[in-house]
Structure 1
Amino acid sequence: MHINVVCPHCLKVSSVKKKETYTTEHCKECGGSLLESKPLNANLAILDYFIHTSDLPVIVDFWAPWCGPCLTMAPHFEAAAMAMPLQAQFLKINNDNAQIQNPTIIIVNIPAVLVFKDGKEIDRFTGARSSKQIIKWVEKYL
């Protein structure tokens, strides 16, 4: 079985064989490592592209630079992303910019972490969490 994954370097879609673990996997287009799973700073257009082209769950942290809990959670969100290469794709979106661009995703409290699968939002949580808590939450959707 193969899965479609969006390359974090060139944003092209690569089809990769689904495995339990990976030692190496590269983008078919640019050759960049698909195991570099640091959260990608994104906007709503990139989010839309990911949720409609990636077969992996897309985990999105809506945050703002003035939000203390957002800044506290940021390294935990990154650690969770780095621990889950080719299991989920992690994005960060500045909520202040997103709400100006298009208020289609309603975010009332931040940080807000949403999971998208099969093109739609399936769950979310608000408030800061540790990397272990984030990983445990994401694992429910793998």
Structure 2
Amino acid sequence: MNPLHIVCPHCHTTNRVQSADLSRGPDCGSCHQPLFTGHPVALTEAEFARHVQRSQLPLLVDFWAPWCGPCRMMAPAFEQAVQQLEPNVRLVKVNTDEAQALGAQLGIRSIPTLALFAGGQEVARQAGAMGAGDIVRWTQAQLGRVRA
């Protein structure tokens, strides 16, 4: 069984974790904090790059801004989706006001926008607010297409 590379949401160190151990609540080998928190992880541009490039888990990104009404409406749904998608998918939030260069690089034109990354590449994108069930179904459907 090959280990997966998983980036810690706290110290951003890359950890090797056996896939069978994902559901057992593994801790980071460096900072000893849980690798899965049950909450979306807020990332800066540099942290985002590390998670996309180094983690072997799919990464579901909510591109948002604090002034955006639909973003604030979707935040609780995104939080709920974590409960159903972790530990097989890492859910993160990127504030496009603070990460303007990243938003421009990725062509984020409207917010909220969900983008799904797998294998270091963007594999799907959906603009607009969604409920928790829709976020989970959309993510699972996209991952099913990628793996097929």
TM-score normalised by structure 2 residue count: 0.87
2:135 corresponds to which letter in structure 1?
I
- State the Cα distance separating 1:100 from its structure 2 match: 4.8
Aligned-pair identity (%):
33
Provide the C-alpha distance between the structure 2 equivalents of 1:113 and 1:61, rounded to a whole number of angstroms.
Answer: 5
Whether 1:132 aligns to 2:133 is yes
Tell me which residue corresponds to 2:112.
111
Size of the aligned set, in residue pairs, is 142
* Equivalent residues of 1:36, 1:82 under 8 A apart: no
Provide the C-alpha distance between the structure 1 equivalents of 2:102 and 2:70, rounded to a whole number of angstroms.
Answer: 23
Which aligned runs of 4 or more in structure 1 are off by greater than 3 angstroms? none
Whether 1:72 aligns to 2:73 is yes
Tell me which residue corresponds to 1:50.
51
- State the Cα distance separating 1:20 from its structure 2 match: 8.6
Deviations 1:49-73 (A, max 9, x none): 1110000011111111111110000
Equivalences for 1:12-91 in 2 at 5 Å? 12-19=13-20, 22-91=23-92
Unpaired runs of at least 5, structure 2:
none
Whether 1:8 aligns to 2:9 is yes
Unpaired runs of at least 5, structure 1:
none
RMSD: 1.9
* Equivalent residues of 2:96, 2:103 under 8 A apart: no
CA spacing shift, 1:42–1:24, aligned 2, 3 Å: closer
Of 101-110 and 114-123, deviating more is: 101-110
